[in-house]
Chains A and B, each alone.
Chain A
């Protein structure tokens, strides 16, 4: 059974979290994500969950990591300046393999920038912002429906891979109101528990160790220092460090094809748009207006790990067109994976690309 709602994107995100069984929210208010926290503040306590407004974003993510170790499905929500503050603890979550979900409703940066305007300027920061090598998962909703669905998915991926998962929304989708079809129940993938007698950080074949939840007698030591399979610090062992960090990256990067989430439209086309988040809407309008099967569209819902296999689905492609609300962040990643021309269509300032912006770029590259 389903029901129909007319929701703002941020409300749909919070409802998706609740549907996924999120029972801990720790965060700090910031435009344009605040409605997520407000909705959780109103709903979580009534469901036996915990909402706590922390003193800053550093504490916000720290609290959800602490909560996650007690077995909670934990989430925070922020925007660029908050994401910057969270970076050290995001690395801690990656290093300690803590499942948690971070909602980032992007606004114009750098610095305080454009608090009420839309942007996609944090796409590289979310992938590489904390020190050292690590990997994360990032999802990009383009509809209010996807704010709901991808938030559910974020929790499942976080638990499956034991990694921080980011919903990289933007102000446009966060504040847009649309129809949402809400299912009565959603799929739930739980953390694999630690098998008693196994070392707490010894990974299985999927490179993910079982989760030793606090309070269950595992006596696990969790540290951001380089650690061995017992969880004990071993920060001066070069081989152990190399193996640990390689596994943290591989457990995500090796699964990129399994978890890839995208749509391929007109796979035989010669000119192909690639978009994620709000620019998807402009590309959809252009596809509708031009009604030309020689124009393709790769619509990404997951941007990290980047699903490069999707590029190969366009067998006749001669060029890729990448509209982004930044100065070409993902275009550079796409260039890395393909020999064909990659035409970046950057737009900053806080407004969406217009269909005319995209059509004029197509006309310039016949």
Chain B
């Protein structure tokens, strides 16, 4: 079986813009699921609202495309009512970190057996490019026309502090690493959170000097700093530039979890 079999062929073409990073993340997720040997009838994808949240609509399983920010709360109901189902949530930075922030931290705290994959494009793509809670300081968006003045969330630190069992961050450049991280997330009992930084040429790139898709992917690559290397630099008292994204496995632990298949 190929993971291409997991797509709804009758829904193509998809709505993602040319050069969008979301497809890469969906592919990595389905490749990881293929390795898990999960069956379509036992797998449920849940999402909220936004570009990322359109992903379940293209996947040939039971899928629940819900309201803005609430995907994790809906997924909690699905998983707690039937722990035999594998439940994966696709979400984005606006959906999960802004309107859905409360559900996110509480699901981490409960350590519900979900895998949440956040496609972080650092902007509201679907509504045309407004600033989000992860828009970097100084970046331009339609609601931060003079540069974003607010400090962005570190979603992985948030998930770790709130209690998730597995937390990892990669980018759309790191497809092999991301696939492995998703697989570990799927295997981990309890709450798994994988943040995938993605390029968004339409809403973010064109306002922030990434005219070419490849320029943005290259920026994500060159501004990624492995957690292990960051830790070594900290030990040596070296300066860590503020604009670096810490990638790799951030947290792995075995706190008691809820909704785990008996």
| Residue interface mask B71-101, A partner, CB < 8 A = 1 | 0011111111110110000000000000000
- What residue in chain B is nearest A59 (Cβ atoms)? B73
Distance A71 CA – B82 CA, assembled complex (angstroms) = 9
- The answer to whether A62 and B73 have CB atoms under 8 Å apart is yes
Mark out the residues of chain A between 210 and 268 whose CB falls within 8 Å of any chain B CB in the assembled complex.
212, 214-225, 230, 232-233
Is residue B62 contacting chain A, with contact meaning CB distance below 8 A? Answer: yes
Total inter-chain residue pairs, C-beta < 8 Å: 126
Nearest to B87 among chain A residues (CB) is: A66
Is B66 an interface residue when CB atoms closer than 8 A count as contact? yes
Q: A24 near B: Cβ within 8 Å?
A: yes
- In the assembly, what is the distance between CA of A116 and CA of B63, in Å? 41
A167 to B70, CA, bound (A): 24
B65 part of interface (Cβ distance < 8 Å): yes
Say yes or no for A92: interface residue by CB 8 A criterion: yes
Bound-state CA distance A225–B80 (Å) is: 25
A50 to B62, CA, bound (A): 22
Query: Contact between A59 and B103 (Cβ–Cβ < 8 Å)?
Result: yes
Taken together as a complex, chains A and B put the C-alpha atoms of A181 and B142 apart, in Å, by 63
Find out whether the CB atom of B106 lies under 8 angstroms from the CB atom of A59.
Answer: yes
A69 CB-CB contact with B under 8 Å: yes
Q: Determine if A214 and B62 form an interchain contact, defined as CB atoms under 8 angstroms apart.
A: yes
Judging by beta carbons under 8 Å apart, are A66 and B46 in contact? Answer: yes
Shortest C-beta distance, B261 to chain A (Å), equals 12
Complex interface: chain B residues within 8 A of A63 (CB): 73-74, 76-77, 80
**Contacting residues, chain A, for B46 (C-beta < 8 A):** 66
Closest to B81 in A: A67
* Contact in complex: A214, B78 (CB < 8 Å): yes
A-chain residues with CB within 8 Å of residue B198 when the two chains form the complex: none
- On whether A223 and B57 interact (CB within 8 A), knowing A62-B67, A214-B82, the answer reads yes
Q: Is B157 interfacial (CB-CB < 8 Å)?
A: no
Find out whether the CB atom of B80 lies under 8 angstroms from the CB atom of A24: yes
CB contact between A232 and one of B11, B74, B78, B103 (< 8 Å): that residue: B11
State which residues 48-72 of A face B: CB under 8 Å.
Answer: 50, 52, 54-56, 58-59, 62-72
Contacts of A218 in B (CB 8 A): 62
Residue of B whose beta carbon sits closest to that of A58: B70
Interface status of A88 (Cβ within 8 A of chain B): yes
CA distance A358 to B81 in the complex (A): 48
Chain A residue nearest in CB terms to B76: A63
A70 engages B85 (CB within 8 Å): yes
- CB contact under 8 A between A221 and B74, given known A24-B80, A50-B81, A233-B57: no
Kindly state the separation between the CA atoms of A70 and B85 in the bound complex, as whole angstroms: 9
Tally chain B residues at the interface, Cβ within 8 Å: 34
Which residues of the other chain, B, contact A230 by a CB distance below 8 angstroms? 10
Decide: B80 and A50 in contact? CB cutoff 8 A.
yes
Residue B60 CB within 8 A of the other chain: yes
Answer whether A56 and B67 are a contact pair too, CB < 8 Å, given A67-B81, A74-B77.
Answer: no
Assess whether A89 is in contact with B70, with CB atoms less than 8 Å apart. Answer: yes
Nearest chain A residue, comparing its CB with the CB of B49:
A224
Chain B residue at minimum C-beta to C-beta distance from A23: B81
A interface residue count range (under 10 / 10 to 19 / 20 to 34 / 35 or more): 35 or more
Query: At the interface with chain A, which of B37-45, B143-151, B172-180, B185-193?
Result: B37-45
In the assembled complex, the Cα of A217 lies from the Cα of B77 at a distance in Å of 19
The answer, among B40, B65, B78, for a CB contact under 8 Å with A223, is: B65
**How far is B56's CA from A215's CA once the two chains are assembled, in angstroms?**
15
Asked if residues A59 and B60 are in contact (CB atoms below 8 Å), the reply is no
| Separation of A193 and B235 alpha carbons in the complex (Å) | 61
Decide if A221 touches B81 in the complex (CB within 8 Å). no
Question: Does any Cβ of B come within 8 Å of A209's Cβ?
Answer: no
Pairwise interchain contact B82-A62, C-beta atoms closer than 8 A:
no
Asked if A221 contacts B57 (CB within 8 A), the reply is yes
The interface residues of chain A lying within 8 Å CB-to-CB of B44 are 214-215
- Give bound CA distance, A74 to B78, whole Å: 11
Cβ B40 vs Cβ A24 within 8 A: no
Q: Check: A26 CB closer than 8 A to any chain B CB.
A: yes
Contact B63 A222 (CB under 8 A): yes
Contact A66 B76 (CB under 8 A): yes
**B102 lies within 8 A of A62 (CB):** no
Contacts of B42 in A (CB 8 A): 215
* Interface residue ranges of B89-122 to A (CB < 8 Å): 102-103, 106
Query: Contact at B85–A52, with CB atoms within 8 Å?
Result: no
Query: B63 to A70, Cβ gap below 8 A?
Result: no
- B64 contacts partner chain A, Cβ-Cβ < 8 Å: yes
B206-245 near A? 1/0 per residue, CB < 8 Å: 0000000000000000000000000000000000000000
Q: Using Cβ atoms and an 8 Å threshold, which residues of chain B touch A26?
A: 76-77, 80
Residues of A within 8 A of B (CB): 23-24, 26, 50, 52, 54-56, 58-59, 62-72, 74, 88-89, 92, 212, 214-225, 230, 232-233
What are 12 of the A-B contact pairs (CB < 8 Å)?
A24-B80, A50-B80, A54-B106, A55-B103, A65-B66, A69-B62, A70-B81, A89-B66, A214-B82, A215-B41, A221-B65, A224-B66
Nearest 5 A/B pairs, CB to CB:
A66-B77, A63-B77, A67-B81, A62-B73, A59-B73
- B residues in contact (CB < 8 Å) with A: 8, 10-11, 40-42, 44, 46, 56-57, 60-67, 70, 73-82, 84-85, 102-103, 106
